[in-house]
Amino acid sequence: MKVLISVDMEGISGIVHPTETNPDRYDYERGRALMTAEANAVIDGVLDAAPDAVVWVADAHGPFRNLLPEDLDRRAHLVRGKPRPLGMLAGLDEHTDAVMLIGYHARAGAGPAVLAHTMSDAILDVRVAGRTLGEIGLNTAMAGHLDAPVVLLSGDDTACAEFGELVPSAVTVAVKQTLGQAAAVALHPQEARERLRRAAAGAISRRASIPPWTMAGPLDVEVDLYGPYMVDLAVLVPGVTRVRGGRTVAFHAADVPEVYRLIQLLVQLASIRPD
């Protein structure tokens, strides 16, 4: 059995502020230590339930170089660095039996929700076939395209509710109760890890009863971008057009992987500032 654990940072217990998630800020080292510890708890849980499982861990926050390699459980394969195929789900393939999304956050515009956004601050909204999706929805759909169910998600209570709307039978662990964009009531990190270990074992044990969440193509997609100059760059991509004023672009995709790749590209283009 192959299990992919995608680990983001904003949804880790104890983390509530950008200083804890930004490599250039003073509290980042604590944030990455908390992130690594929660990843290890989930690895433990997977291997408690399935000792022969092959576990891959995708570092899925910001630069994709946050997890501490020397402190990560040696039984796992770590995927780090960017750019890379499938971004936050690097390591996902047709042999993946289950996916877990750890430390995830709610989509842009959700609230109250700790550090809510979608891919970057440049994206205000993503609508796929008329449905608003954040990172939770996009990654769940991408996994589902390869017939891999997302069996576990952890984050704040808003993120758990967002995922629960997509896959009600999956397991969620709310490691903090949100009070706002940068405030929450968090579990003690050790308590969060113990709950995650138990939840990961339980999710693996009943993975057969948790279906993949899929979106059939073709798909019409609209993306609202923060700045008009971001739209100016986006429409240089073949097939991407400007719609409804100065901040929205649209494209037609054959399937979920095409949606996923194009949104990753739009995020990178949005990081370019005009001279």
Contact 106, 158 (CB under 8 A): yes
Q: Catalytic: 95?
A: no
Among residues 167, 171, 211, 189, which one has the least CA distance to residue 46? 171
Evaluate the CA torsion angle 83, 88, 90, 92 in order and state its sign.
negative
- Average per-residue pLDDT for the chain: 97
* 49 has a pLDDT exceeding 80: yes
Of the residues 61, 117, 188, 252, only one is catalytic, namely: 117
- Total-model pTM: 0.97
- CB burial class (10 A; 0-12, 13-18, 19+) of residue 236? exposed
Q: What are the beta bridge partners of residue 4?
A: 56, 99
Q: What angle do CA 210, 216, 220 make, to 5 degrees?
A: 130
Interval 172-217: pLDDT, tens: 999 999 999 999 999 999 999 999 999 999 999 999 999 999 999 9
Question: How is domain 2-110+135-209 classified at the architecture level of CATH?
Answer: 3-Layer(aba) Sandwich (3.40)
pLDDT band at 83 (very low <50, low <70, confident <90, very high): very high
Contact 10, 114 (CB under 8 A): yes
Residue ranges per structural domain of the chain: 2-110+135-209
Mean pLDDT value across residues 67-81: 98
Interval 92-139: pLDDT, tens: 999 999 999 999 999 999 989 999 999 999 999 999 999 999 999 999
